[in-house]
């Protein structure tokens, strides 16, 4: 699996580059939108949660605005949602790649994940600048990219799985974005896990989204990392990744027939 992806890494880089460029090509502000859209979102959050709700986080120190906590969770969630909500079309929208050229099809579901990671890296830059501005920058921020791994694995696994389903069932294009939107509210982006009922808490703590979001906040608040939960999430993400790949490989022989 990794062998195939590694061998075609140059192609994957090209595919992701094309995917990112294509989104902004022809737009007046071009690639500037990569910065503009998170900044606009950030502005809205600052206004709604900071000014209107005047919300506060547990352990939230003075000088660290609420919206920054929220933004960090959103960065993690967006990696997941960027990839998963586009995955049902990842293979289906390229019939000529499946039927007309010799192509490592397994790369296609990785493209939305790659694009999501590009966006995340710009978001992280903004987050770090904002942290520096509030004066709460610590060396721990170098951990942020690494901490993302379980979510990336989960996203990759789900993308492979959903991309394969998407080839056979067109409805996936409608269903999946709906579920992704629901999961935004179900994952601890707008609230801390401590606010979740106790009996549901393990579900939050050990799944990659919950664990990574918690870890991000721990880094920002300079609290100890929830390492055990994070490792469990890493294992969980790894399993999802392998299962997704197995399913994808199992069904790819039929792609050309179904498209």
Partner 1 sequence: MRSEDIAVSVRNVTKTYRLFAHPGDRIKQFLSFGIRRYHQSFNALSDVSLDIRKGETVGIIGPNGSGKSTLLQIICGILKPTSGTVQVNGRVSALLELGAGFNPEFTGRENVYFQGMLMGLGADVIDGRFVDIADFAGIGEFIDQPVRTYSSGMFLRLAFSVAVHVDPDILVVDEALAVGDPLFQKRCYARIKEMQQRGLTLVFVSHDHEIVRTLTNMTLLLGSGVSLYWGDSREATHRYRKILFEEEALRIAREHNGDDQPVMSGKPATSGEYGIGGATITGLRILAEGGEERSVFQPGERIHLEVSFSIDTPLDKLNVSVVIKTLQGWKLYSWGTLNQDIAIWAGRLDGEVFWDKTFEASDKPVVNLALDGNFGAGSYEVQAVISREMDRHFGSQQVLHWCDEIGTFRVEMNKREYFFGGICDLHGRATFDA
3-state secondary structure 126-165: HHHHHHHHHCCCCHHHHHHHHHCHHHHHHHHHHHHHHHHH
- Does 253 bind partner 1 (CB under 8 A)? Our answer is yes
What angle, rounded to 10 degrees, do the helices at 66-86 and 208-221 form? 150
CA–CA dist 54, 56 (Å, integer): 7
Indicate which single residue of 5, 169, 196, 242 sits in contact with partner 1 (rule: CB under 8 A).
169
Taking every pair of C-alpha atoms in the chain, what is the biggest distance, in angstroms? 60
CB of 119 to partner 1, least distance (A): 19
Indicate which single residue of 1, 36, 44, 100 sits in contact with partner 1 (rule: CB under 8 A).
100
- Does 250 bind partner 1 (CB under 8 A)? Our answer is no
CA–CA dist 253, 160 (Å, integer): 14
CB of 11 to partner 1, least distance (A): 5
| Site string (191-230) toward partner 1, x via CB under 8 A | ----------------------------------------
Nearer to partner 1, 28 or 102 (CB): 102
- Does 168 bind partner 1 (CB under 8 A)? Our answer is yes
Q: What is the CA radius of gyration of the chain?
A: 19
Residue 35 CB-half CA count within 13 A:
7
Indicate which single residue of 1, 22, 36, 203 sits in contact with partner 1 (rule: CB under 8 A).
22
DSSP state of 105: G
CB of 251 to partner 1, least distance (A): 9
Chain residues that interact with partner 1, rule: CB under 8 A: 10-11, 14, 18, 21-22, 25-26, 96-103, 168-170, 253, 256-258
């Amino acid at each position: 699996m990794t062998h195939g992806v590694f061998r075609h890494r140059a192609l994957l880089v090209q595919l992701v580059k094309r995917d990112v460029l294509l989104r902004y090509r022809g737009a007046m502000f071009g690639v500037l939108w990569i910065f503009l859209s998170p900044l606009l979102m950030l502005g809205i959050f600052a206004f709604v949660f900071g000014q209107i709700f005047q919300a506060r986080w547990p352990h939230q120190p003075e000088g660290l605005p609420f919206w920054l906590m929220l933004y960090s969770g959103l960065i993690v969630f967006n990696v997941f949602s960027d990839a998963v909500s586009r995955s049902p079309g990842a293979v289906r929208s390229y019939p000529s790649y499946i039927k007309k050229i010799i192509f490592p099809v397994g790369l296609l579901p990785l493209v939305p994940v790659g694009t999501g990671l590009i966006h995340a890296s710009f978001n992280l830059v903004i987050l770090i600048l904002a942290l520096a501005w509030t004066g709460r920058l610590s060396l721990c921020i170098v951990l942020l990219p690494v901490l993302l791994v379980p979510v990336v694995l989960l996203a990759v696994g789900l993308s492979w799985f959903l991309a394969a389903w998407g080839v056979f069932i067109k409805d996936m294009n409608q269903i999946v974005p709906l579920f992704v939107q629901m999961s935004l509210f179900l994952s601890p982006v707008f609230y801390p896990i401590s606010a979740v009922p106790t009996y549901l808490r393990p579900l939050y703590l050990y799944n990659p989204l919950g664990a990574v979001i918690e870890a991000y906040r721990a880094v920002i608040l300079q609290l100890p990392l929830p390492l055990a939960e994070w490792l469990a999430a890493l294992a969980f993400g790894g399993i999802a990744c392998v299962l997704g790949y197995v399913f994808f490989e199992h069904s790819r022989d039929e792609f050309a027939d179904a498209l």
